[in-house]
Amino acid sequence: MPRNALYAQSGGVTSVINASASALILAARTHSAHIDHVYAGRNGIVGALDEDLIDTNLESSEAITALAHTPGGAFGSCRHKLRSPQDNEAEYKRLIDVFKAHDIGYFFYNGGGDSMDTANKVSGYAASLGLDVKSVGVPKTIDNDLPITDCCPGFGSAAKYIAVSTSEVALDVASMCATSTKLFVLEVMGRHAGWLAAAAGLAGRGPNDAPQIILFPEVPFDKTRFLARVEQSIAENGYCVVVVSEGVRDRDGKFLSERGTRDSFGHAQLGGAGPAVAELVQEALGLKYHWAVADYMQRSARHLASATDVAQAKALGEAAVELAVQGETGVMPTIERVSDDPYEWRIGKARLEDVANVEKTMPNDFVSEDGFGISEAARTYLNPLIAGEDYPAYHQGLPRWAVLKRISVARKLASRAP
């Protein structure tokens, strides 16, 4: 007898997380012997805990297909830390009650490291009770910091946006530097891993091309060396473009942008590395500057998505279903790079216990010797990930996004305790 599946999105969304959702739901529909309904948790695991489920079977194939070109999280995402069963077994019991009430035999959690931790915990708890629930993680993060997989869906498109934006703004600043702005600073995401900052380096090839300076979380910030490099760039080029990761830290390990608050996962709340760096230069050198924070724009720019990224997001969504119906649990499909040139990749898999809460930072040899740029090894790795275009359909000059009904599944349980 076929059983139902629960799919949920988690963490910061990407421009291609819905591509994984689209492929997963469509793949599940081809496995009617194993999967009956695919329910989506409204706002991630929170929706599962609240028994707030969306019946995706009531969405047309056309609408689900259109998700592949739609940014954001179609079913709502969340930042909810599912602690260990020993610390909060009530949540696990509630989750299992929801699973039983709706005959959930497959659980797909689409997210980053913390999400893979959640999927792993659900897999382990269900197994401890002897329940047949196949729990499979679906990787997603623009930070590109999941281990084992060569890259993560969401990263390639965000990287493309950063590289293109850096290239465009450099031409702007170069046009104005003789009489106006000398310094432009772009802040990008990346708490502990500088993958997105590194992507900006693809904008230039020559020694004086922008960005002239990239500040990585992996390289401790040195104020004296940094200011000297800014002065050098101004002298040689007339301007300087700096790309700074939000997670840049000094030699003592303190974030330049830390605000003293923490999110629900216990992570330091960051924001302001860009203006902090710009003001440092202004105070020391008296230069006119502008700064910008890519913020949500870098992770939602579906109009500039990488074709490679979209293809991999879809492939991983499909692979998650295949793993589950084959009886796999506690696993995550991965991307394995076969060759750089021509770029070839295939689907692999990893144990969730090997992925959960492990951050993959950039290798040392991806950073240039002076610490302010990227190496040829980094270019070789990054170039294929931003390759190709996959434009959404346009109507009256604007992208046409998917429109879903999001019809709720009838509740069978009492509301959970607050």
Catalytic position from the list 52, 103, 132, 143:
143
- Residue carrying structure tokens 């610490």: 371
Distance between start and end Cα atoms, the chain: 35
Preceding peptide of 384 cis, ω within 30°: no
Closest-CA residue to 407 (of 39, 26, 21): 39
Q: Is 143 a catalytic residue?
A: yes
What are the angstrom distances between the C-alpha of 385 and each of 3, 77, 155, 218, 230?
Answer: 36, 25, 8, 21, 30
Structure tokens at 302: 């579906």
CB 102 within 8 A of CB 53: yes
Closest-CA residue to 76 (of 117, 156, 113, 21): 21
Residue 364, judged by CB atoms within 10 A of its CB (0-12, 13-18, 19+), counts as exposed
- Residue carrying structure tokens 């079977």: 57
* List of residues 6+ apart from 377 with CB closer than 8 A: 363, 365, 366
Q: Sheet with 343-351: list strands edge to edge.
A: 53-55, 35-41, 3-9, 104-111, 134-139, 331-340, 343-351
- Amino acid 48 reads A
- Residue carrying structure tokens 């869906």: 153
Residues involved in catalysis: 143
